[in-house]
Amino acid sequence: MSFKDNVDLYVEQSAKLLKFSDDLIDHIKSTHSLIKVNVGVEIDKKIHNFTGWRAVHSEHILPSKGGMRYSINVDQDDTEALASLMTYKCAIVDIPFGGSKGGLKINPKNYTEQQLRLITKAFATKLINKGFISPAINVPAPDVGTSEKEMDWIKDTYKSLRPEDINYRGCVTGKPIHSGGINGRKEATGRGIEEVIRELFRHKDVVKETKLKNELKDNSIVIQGFGNVGSNLAEHLYNRDNAKIIAIGESNGYLYNKNGININSLNKFYKKNKTIKNKKLGKFYNQPNELIELECDILIPAALENAITIKNVKKIKTKIIIEAANGPVSFEADKELNKRGIMILPDIYVNAGGVVVSYFEWVKNISHIRFGRVEKRFQERKILDLINLIDQKTNTKTNPEVISKIVHGANEEDLAYSGLEDSMRNAFNEILEIKKRIKRSFRESTYYLSLQKIRKFYTSDGFPKR
Ligand code: NAD
């Protein structure tokens, strides 16, 4: 079964609960437009050919939004599957975007930075000229194998092709700050997942249902993948929640420490050496696939799709799975895990923090002003006025050190994180309400909520409804 088939089965499952007609379900599942391009780039006096795709799953709200993946495993089916996940994801967190995704079949590690720049610019030129990238229609972001660097190159390409577009910076998100990026975007997906976990632990009935220990810090955590999502999540959990992360996996193996890995030391080591193989921080095992089978309380796949399939599902020994990656559990494995009472918080909700903060970045770009720029000092003055008033009325004098701690107007990162937390917590509660009402799994309830929201845009007399 392909990745797209898997996603479609999840959609069908919940659409039937909502009593959607078969033709409506077919329409919702379908990719609305798709482009395949071949890009030729001269490298070392030889033309190298690269194949890429950009899929638009939905455009009921524009622009359509979704990451750009660079991997040798990229293909059309995966791109369509990932684009469809974006549609459902944006609906869950009330982000006014359609769903899209793109990818280039390439192993970026085989090319220099200069070569990657040329390849990215050639790829972006094709997509822009065919109407598959623009601030109003379709906005990429980083995904596996790409980062703010690639986004910056795409933005530069767009700017040179469309200099008259005053909103050119909004043609991609996840850019460097100096190029119109937003503080907090790089960490947003990981931080958003931390908010999901925090919200889970505020619901003691759910914690009890999953048989987790009452406090987050008392549960053992295993994370697969130490890329953008995995490393930022681990850092937040370790520093803000005192979490015990007993194992971290990468494609060459995994690091294990039953007392918990020191994530700050690992991050420092990884940045320098590009590997998690550090014998001082734990024991390193060369079998990457065994990580997912480790006994733990919370399992977080944060690498790639199909980490848990019918082949290894019986070996899973966790209480809850939190899907940080897109599509890490196959449909059949999901059924088996449900039978065993292992709760799964699904990708279309869990990793939505990235697109939430991307939305803030896009709004910043088209409104041409940094969040907090206008009101920060005003807020500070108001808090100071209040302290002075209290001092006056109570005939006291607040310590200047205390004042400097309290008087803090919200800056861009504060506001982005506040909006992120609000989005993740609201969605959790909306899903939980549905779960209690329909008495189905967390995933079925999440798709149910998403489809319920999307349905409003689909009509029998043409799509999209304008
Ligand atoms: P990334 O490229 O930064 O990191 C992926 C990591 O997974 C790499 O470190 C890689 O070495 C590792 N990996 C690959 N194969 C592995 C294996 N078999 N076992 C263990 N580790 C393996 O990518 P990312 O941005 O962190 O994305 C990870 C997942 O999260 C993907 O599914 C992506 O679609 C999803 N996601 C990312 C974002 C985002 O903002 N970056 C947002 C939403 C969802």
Q: Is 260 exposed, middle or buried (0-12, 13-18, 19+ CB in 10 A)?
A: middle
Whether residue 419 has its Cβ less than 6 Å from ligand 1: no
User: Is the pLDDT score of 275 beyond 70?
Assistant: yes
Strands 244-250 and 64-71: unpaired
Q: Which CATH architecture has domain 31-186?
A: 3-Layer(aba) Sandwich (3.40)
Share of the chain above pLDDT 90, in %: 97
Residue type, 124: A
Q: Is 284 exposed, middle or buried (0-12, 13-18, 19+ CB in 10 A)?
A: middle
Look up residue 130 and give its two tokens: 């065919």
Whether residue 351 has its Cβ less than 6 Å from ligand 1: yes
Question: With bands split at pLDDT 50, 70 and 90, how would you rate the model's confidence at 236?
Answer: very high
* Residue nearest atom 5 in ligand 1 by C-alpha distance: 227
CA 69 to ligand 1: nearest atom: 34
Q: Which pLDDT belongs to residue 461?
A: 44
Token pair 């009101």 is at which residue?
Answer: 375
Over the stretch 113-150, which tens digit does the pLDDT of each residue have? Answer: 999 999 999 999 999 999 999 999 999 999 999 999 99
Enumerate the active-site residues. 101
Strands 46-56 and 33-43: antiparallel
CA 229 to ligand 1: nearest atom: 26
User: Is the pLDDT score of 459 beyond 70?
Assistant: no
CA 82 to ligand 1: nearest atom: 34
User: Is the pLDDT score of 210 beyond 60?
Assistant: yes
For the chain, state the CA radius of gyration. 23
229 CA to centre of ligand 1 in angstroms: 6
Query: Which of 78, 228, 299 best tests ligand 1's pocket when mutated (most atoms within 8 Å of CB)?
Result: 228
Strands 64-71 and 138-142: parallel
- Average pLDDT for residues 288-299, to the nearest whole number? 97
CA 226 to ligand 1: nearest atom: 9
Whether residue 8 has its Cβ less than 6 Å from ligand 1: no
What does the H/E/C string look like for the chain?
CCHHHHHHHHHHHHHHHCCCCHHHHHHHHCCCEEEEEEEEEEECCEEEEEEEEEEECCCCCCCEEEEEEEECCCCHHHHHHHHHHHHHHHHHCCCCCEEEEEEEECCHHHCCHHHHHHHHHHHHHHHHHCCCCECCCEEEEECCCCCHHHHHHHHHHHHHHCCCCCCHHHHCCCCCHHHCCCCCHHHHHHHHHHHHHHHHHHCHHHHHHHCCCCCHHHCEEEEECCCHHHHHHHHHHHHHHCCEEEEEEECCEEEECCCCCCHHHHHHHHHHHCCCCCCCCCEEECCHHHHHHCCCCEEEECCCCCCECCCCHHHCCCCEEECCCCCCECHHHHHHHHHCCCEEECHHHHCCHHHHHHHHHHHHHHHCCCCCCCCHHHHHHHHHHHHHHHHHHHCCCCCHHHHHHHCCCCCHHHHHHHHHHHHHHHHHHHHHHHHHHHCCCHHHHHHHHHHHHHHCCCECCECCCC
What number of CA atoms fall less than 13 Å from residue 414's CA on the CB side?
8
* Residue nearest atom 30 in ligand 1 by C-alpha distance: 325
Token pair 């977080």 is at which residue?
Answer: 300
Over the stretch 78-109, which tens digit does the pLDDT of each residue have? Answer: 999 999 999 999 999 999 999 999 999 999 99
Q: d(Cα 351, Cα 324) in Å, to the nearest integer? A: 5
pTM for the model stands at: 0.96
* Non-local CB neighbours of 112 within 8 Å, separated by 6+ positions: none
Mean pLDDT taken over the chain: 96
Tell me how crowded residue 363 is: count the other CB atoms within 10 A of its CB: 15
User: Is the pLDDT score of 189 beyond 50?
Assistant: yes
- Average pLDDT for residues 294-319, to the nearest whole number? 97
Tell me how crowded residue 312 is: count the other CB atoms within 10 A of its CB: 14
- Average pLDDT for residues 230-236, to the nearest whole number? 98
Whether residue 362 has its Cβ less than 6 Å from ligand 1: no
188 CA to centre of ligand 1 in angstroms: 14
Token pair 């599902």 is at which residue?
Answer: 313
CA dihedral of 200, 201, 205, 206, whole degrees rounded to 10: 40
Look up residue 417 and give its two tokens: 């994180």
- Average pLDDT for residues 345-365, to the nearest whole number? 98
305 CA to centre of ligand 1 in angstroms: 9
Residues β-bridged to residue 141: 67
Token pair 């690639």 is at which residue?
Answer: 150
> How close are the terminal C-alpha atoms of the chain, in Å?
35
144 CA to centre of ligand 1 in angstroms: 5
Whether residue 224 has its Cβ less than 6 Å from ligand 1: yes
Q: d(Cα 272, Cα 127) in Å, to the nearest integer? A: 35
Question: With bands split at pLDDT 50, 70 and 90, how would you rate the model's confidence at 466?
Answer: very low
Question: With bands split at pLDDT 50, 70 and 90, how would you rate the model's confidence at 58?
Answer: very high
